[in-house]
């Protein structure tokens, strides 16, 4: 805790004065560009690797950047956060970002390793679609590749899951919202983006195509 307390003091003394004007402008309103959903992992710092500042990103984090499908009776924070960001803040982009060496996805790949953690176990079962795809199509690749593929498949699966949320469906139908999938590599700092044309993650270009329907042909090619 000492490290955090010292950090707060340094922030108030050295950093806040540089941002004072920005924070004054943001004091009673926000208009973030994007809702970014990523993992709780301490090594993933969205504002650092996107170089966004205060007020730019509305960030929601949980273990494994998982978005449960919409259920009307569900009062979870995930649903409420998405609804607020899309319907009230009217973010233009909804980004789901997975990352390398994700502990949550390791738990998905090896469910037996989280059996003693009932809540984690139950939460991670929501990434079962991604696990099945990897086990079905990539069962013979080395473990580290399997993990990377699982992390990326999970981002793609969550891009589908988020579309079950009525507020997202409406914003997409009105063409007021775009969905994007990213993969952040902790050791290199590289970010790749889901390309709906190829169904793969590719290095970032000047523009990133929004995530559309999954191409069937490329999946069949992969399986061969």
Minimum separation from the CB atom of position 46 to Zn ion (A) = 13
Residue 37 found at the interface with Zn ion (CB under 5 A): no
Choice between 156 and 167, CB closer to Zn ion:
156
Choice between 43 and 219, CB closer to Zn ion:
43
Minimum separation from the CB atom of position 157 to Zn ion (A) = 15
Minimum separation from the CB atom of position 147 to Zn ion (A) = 11
Minimum separation from the CB atom of position 123 to Zn ion (A) = 12
Using CB under 5 A, pick the residue from 57, 102, 130, 172 that binds Zn ion: 102
| Per-position x/- string for 173-202, each x denoting binding to Zn ion as judged by CB under 5 A, each - no binding | ------------------------------
Residue 39 found at the interface with Zn ion (CB under 5 A): yes
In 3D space, the residue among 63, 68, 66 whose CA is nearest the CA of residue 41 turns out to be 63
Footprint (CB under 5 A) of Zn ion, residues 108-167: none
Number of residues that bind Zn ion (CB under 5 A): 4
Minimum separation from the CB atom of position 3 to Zn ion (A) = 22
Choice between 149 and 171, CB closer to Zn ion:
149
In 3D space, the residue among 147, 165, 132 whose CA is nearest the CA of residue 37 turns out to be 165
In sequence order, the 6+-apart residues with CB closer than 8 A to the CB of 5 are none
In sequence order, the 6+-apart residues with CB closer than 8 A to the CB of 152 are 98, 181, 183, 194, 201
In 3D space, the residue among 117, 189, 121, 182 whose CA is nearest the CA of residue 151 turns out to be 182
Choice between 43 and 222, CB closer to Zn ion:
43
- Give the Cα separation of 198 and 212 in Å (integer): 11
Residue 86 found at the interface with Zn ion (CB under 5 A): no
Tally of CA atoms within 13 A in the half-sphere of 65 that contains its CB: 32
Chain centroid to Cα 126, Å, comes to 14
Using CB under 5 A, pick the residue from 41, 124, 184, 194 that binds Zn ion: 41
Minimum separation from the CB atom of position 188 to Zn ion (A) = 16
CB atoms under 10 Å from CB of 29, counted, come to 7
- Give the Cα separation of 63 and 39 in Å (integer): 5
The residues of the shown chain that bind Zn ion, judged by CB under 5 A, are 39, 41, 102, 104
């Amino acid at each position: 805790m000492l490290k955090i307390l010292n950090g707060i003091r340094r922030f108030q003394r050295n950093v806040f004065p540089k941002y004072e004007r920005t924070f004054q402008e943001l004091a009673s309103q926000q208009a973030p560009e994007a809702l970014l959903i990523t993992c709780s992992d301490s090594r993933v710092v969205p504002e650092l690797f996107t170089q966004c500042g205060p007020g730019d990103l509305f960030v929601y984090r949980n273990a494994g950047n998982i978005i449960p499908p919409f259920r009307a009776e569900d009062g979870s924070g995930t649903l409420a956060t998405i609804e607020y960001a899309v319907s009230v803040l009217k973010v233009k982009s909804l980004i789901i970002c997975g990352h390398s060496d994700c502990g949550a996805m390791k738990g998905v790949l090896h469910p037996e390793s989280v059996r003693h953690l009932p809540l984690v176990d139950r939460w991670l079962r929501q990434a079962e679609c991604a696990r099945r795809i990897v086990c079905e199509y990539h069962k013979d690749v080395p473990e580290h590749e399997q993990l990377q593929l699982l992390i990326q498949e999970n981002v793609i699966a969550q891009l589908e899951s988020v579309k079950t949320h009525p507020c997202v469906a409406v914003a997409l139908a009105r063409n007021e919202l775009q969905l994007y999938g990213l993969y952040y590599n902790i050791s290199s700092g590289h970010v790749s983006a889901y390309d709906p044309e190829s169904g793969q993650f590719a290095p970032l270009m000047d523009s990133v195509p929004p995530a559309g329907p999954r191409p069937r042909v490329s999946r069949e090619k992969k399986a061969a």
